[in-house]
Amino acid sequence: MSRAASNRRGALRAGALAAAGMAGLVGVPDPADGSTALDAHAPPGWPALSLLDGSIWSSESWEGLAGVLVVWATWCPFCHRHNARVEMLHRAIAGRPMRVLGASLDLDPQRVRQHLQERGHTFPNTMETEPLRTRFGLRRITPTTVTFDRRGRILQRIPGEMAEADVMALARLAENPI
């Protein structure tokens, strides 16, 4: 592909993202490049997950809601900063059609609970990462952030730590209609 064609495709993609209210987000995949980061046709099929507070989340827990899933670990220093930003997002979207879920790679639930409490993180968390990895094709990169539209379709898989502005921009997902 020529450089001019590539630039035109990038401009068209940027325009489409802006129209969808998603301009400026990092990690937005380009389906034309064959990347596996976009799975726009995936059914919502969330596995049932046990949360650290003992409750169960299922597909119905996400019905009609945009979502952000963050895979993280207590031993990951990048996750510490990233999750502080995710907590800010969680608080900012309260009452809006959106949810945040954390998925810890740790093996000790008590350690994860203590870690979350010490840092004041209140967003729901699970330690059942294998069903999520299998369902959403996640790699072992921490943190990894996955975003979903209000139909439950994967929009992005973002490996690594995100800047505060980029995490907070994810709140736009709640504004996009089904």
Output the pLDDT for position 55: 95
Output the pLDDT for position 71: 96
Output the pLDDT for position 44: 53
* Bond from prior residue into 143 cis (ω within 30 degrees of 0): yes
Output the pLDDT for position 29: 38
Output the pLDDT for position 163: 98
User: Is the Cβ–Cβ distance between 172 and 145 less than 8 Å?
Assistant: no
| pLDDT tens by residue, the chain, 178 residues | 444 443 333 333 333 333 334 433 334 333 333 333 334 434 456 788 999 999 998 878 888 999 999 999 999 999 999 999 999 999 999 999 999 999 999 999 999 999 999 999 999 999 999 888 888 888 888 999 999 999 888 999 999 999 999 999 999 999 877 6
**DSSP assignment of 20-85, as one string?**
TT-TT-TT---GGGT-TT-BTT----PPPEEBTTS-EE-HHHHTT-EEEEEEE-TT-HHHHHHHHH
**Helices 77-92 and 109-119, packing angle to 10 deg:** 60
Rg (the chain; Cα; Å): 16
Output the pLDDT for position 3: 42
Q: What domains appear along the chain, each with residue ranges and CATH number?
A: 26-174 (3.40.30.10)
How far apart CA 125 and CA 5 sit, in angstroms, is: 43
User: Is the Cβ–Cβ distance between 68 and 100 less than 8 Å?
Assistant: yes
Return the bridge partners of 70, or none: 102, 145
